[in-house]
């Protein structure tokens, strides 16, 4: 648990933030900064990058004569540099005493008023300066397979997390994590809810940001993914809230929902036996732009049909749209009022409490309040499903779900 150990100055300090520390000297010495070769982290014993220069392209558990000597630094690598007070990469237990230095993009440098660095480590994301790239996810074994939220088919709800470096991590539910992909920052929408390709294994659907193409990433049943398959040739940038929903059309395959940005229409894209998407069907004639989150949460009301949870932006309300046997959405039911916009995103991975009823989880946003204190961003908040469509009160589980690039 990293709740005590803060991440340096609580953020990645790109060198664009020069001066934030309040100790940077007024006279930049660009000539000396430029002596630092590309691919290296460099440091000086002065506040203004003059004099003898230290440089390294590798992590250093000890710094020898440079111990406690860094007073100005520049990071010209492509990685995050973690600077620790102590040797051997030991994070400080007090906030604000380690430094996280992001790659330089401005030709500037970072100055420190004091010199207290004992070791230096290169990592992919700021989280790794004092913890894992991924947070800890805990799930109990469900009595029955839910058909979604379970990539490896062990009846334990699992989670995918994308870190800021675009790596995808599989979290099986025992607080561990395993990297299952890189380059996922190309996608600006990611969703999963059961099997689309027809092999019984859960898949992921991703929208490629640059092209608006929709890709199917077929799950292999282990948490890994096979080669991606194109299922939407373009135009998906015109859609919002792309949400794998579950099987609305009752053919055993998970279907897709999306809101058309310009019209606010809700469309159903049924999966076909060949793993492609069939002709879309209008599910909602308008007004769906008022919803700022759609969640394919599974069967929340216990009637055997998957249900949709939607968050209305203003006033913030949580609605349950039960699906029907005929492939439509029934009359909505209010399941939450007040405060729901304080949650940033939702996780719909089924029954993680192990009582046979689908649950809901969320990651808190910056306005989330705990014990009267706002600003509690990045908490995992869990809501147990009661099997009636209603949710139990939220539980603040873990503050470590911050500084990620999505969890689903
Ligand atoms: Ca699982
Ligand atoms: Ca599949
Ligand atoms: Ca239902
Ligand atoms: Ca449950």
**Shortest-distance ligand to the CA of residue 320:** 3
Given a cut of 90, whether residue 127 has pLDDT beyond it is: yes
C-alpha 308: how far from chain center = 21
Model pLDDT for residues 149-166, shown as the tens digit of each residue = 999 999 999 999 999 999
178 lies in the same domain as 118: no
377 lies in the same domain as 245: yes
201 lies in the same domain as 123: no
In a domain, 141, yes or no: no
Given a cut of 70, whether residue 306 has pLDDT beyond it is: yes
Structure confidence at residue 97 (pLDDT): 60
In a domain, 79, yes or no: yes
In a domain, 122, yes or no: yes
In a domain, 322, yes or no: yes
Question: How many separate domains does the chain show?
Answer: 2
115 lies in the same domain as 163: no
Residue ranges near ligand 1 (ion) with Cβ within 5 Å: 150, 152, 154, 156, 158
Model pLDDT for residues 184-243, shown as the tens digit of each residue = 999 999 999 999 999 999 999 999 999 999 999 999 999 999 999 999 998 999 999 999
In a domain, 191, yes or no: yes
Domain that holds residue 396: 159-407
**Shortest-distance ligand to the CA of residue 382:** 4
What secondary structure letter does DSSP report for 244?
Answer: E
Model pLDDT for residues 47-71, shown as the tens digit of each residue = 999 999 999 999 999 999 999 999 9
171 lies in the same domain as 309: yes
In a domain, 377, yes or no: yes
Please tell me the distance between residue 197's alpha carbon and the centre of ligand 2 in angstroms: 4
**Shortest-distance ligand to the CA of residue 248:** 3
Please tell me the distance between residue 160's alpha carbon and the centre of ligand 1 in angstroms: 11
Please tell me the distance between residue 293's alpha carbon and the centre of ligand 1 in angstroms: 24
C-beta neighbour count of 1 within 10 angstroms: 10
Structure confidence at residue 29 (pLDDT): 43
111 lies in the same domain as 212: no
Global pTM value: 0.90
Q: Could you tell me which of 189, 215, 192, 213 has the C-alpha nearest to residue 276?
A: 215
In a domain, 2, yes or no: no
Model pLDDT for residues 77-105, shown as the tens digit of each residue = 999 999 999 999 998 877 556 789 999 98
**Shortest-distance ligand to the CA of residue 361:** 4
**66 token code pair:** 């440079």
Please tell me the distance between residue 195's alpha carbon and the centre of ligand 3 in angstroms: 18
Q: Label residue 106 by pLDDT band (50, 70, 90).
A: confident
CATH no. for residue 76?
Answer: 2.60.20.10
Lowest mean pLDDT among 24-28, 97-101, 169-173, 356-360: 24-28
Residue-level length of the chain: 408
In a domain, 12, yes or no: no
**Shortest-distance ligand to the CA of residue 157:** 1
Model pLDDT for residues 352-365, shown as the tens digit of each residue = 999 999 999 999 99
CA distance 234 to 231: 9
């Amino acid at each position: 648990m990293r709740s005590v150990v803060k991440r340096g100055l609580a953020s990645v300090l790109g060198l664009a933030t020069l001066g934030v520390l309040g100790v940077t000297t007024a006279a930049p010495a660009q000539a000396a900064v430029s002596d630092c070769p590309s691919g290296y982290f460099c440091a000086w014993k002065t506040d203004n990058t003059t004099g003898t220069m230290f440089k390294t392209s590798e992590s250093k558990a000890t710094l020898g004569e440079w111990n406690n000597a860094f007073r100005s630094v520049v990071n010209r690598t492509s990685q995050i540099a973690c600077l620790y007070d102590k040797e051997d990469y030991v994070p400080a237990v007090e906030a604000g005493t380690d430094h996280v230095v992001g790659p330089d993009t401005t030709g500037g440098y970072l100055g420190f008023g004091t010199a207290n660095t004992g070791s230096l480590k290169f990592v992919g994301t700021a989280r790794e300066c004092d913890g894992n790239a991924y947070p800890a996810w805990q799930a109990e074994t469900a009595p029955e397979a839910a058909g979604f939220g379970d990539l490896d088919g062990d009846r334990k709800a699992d989670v995918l997390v994308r870190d800021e470096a675009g790596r995808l991590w599989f979290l099986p539910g025992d607080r561990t994590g395993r990297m299952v992909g890189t380059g996922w920052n190309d996608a600006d929408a990611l969703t999963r809810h059961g099997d689309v390709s027809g092999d019984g294994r859960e898949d992921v659907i991703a929208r490629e940001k640059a092209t608006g193409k929709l890709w199917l990433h077929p799950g292999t049943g282990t948490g890994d993914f096979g080669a991606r398959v194109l299922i939407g040739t373009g135009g998906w940038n015109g859609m919002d809230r792309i949400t794998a929903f579950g099987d609305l059309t009752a053919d055993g395959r998970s279907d897709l929902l999306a809101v058309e940005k310009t019209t606010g229409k809700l469309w159903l894209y049924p999966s076909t036996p060949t793993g492609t998407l069939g002709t879309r069907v209008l599910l909602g004639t308008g007004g769906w732009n008022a919803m700022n989150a759609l969640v394919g949460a599974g069967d929340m009301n216990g009637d055997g049909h998957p249900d949709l949870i939607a968050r209305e932006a203003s006033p913030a309300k949580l609605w349950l749209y039960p699906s029907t046997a005929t492939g439509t959405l029934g009359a909505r039911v209010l399941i939450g009022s007040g405060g729901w916009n304080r949650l940033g995103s939702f996780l719909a991975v089924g029954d993680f409490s192990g009582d046979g009823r689908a649950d809901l989880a969320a990651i808190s946003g910056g306005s989330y309040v705990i014990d009267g204190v706002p600003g509690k961003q990045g908490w995992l908040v869990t809501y147990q499903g009661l099997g009636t469509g209603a949710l139990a009160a939220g539980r603040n589980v873990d503050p470590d779900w911050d500084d990620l690039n999505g969890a689903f």
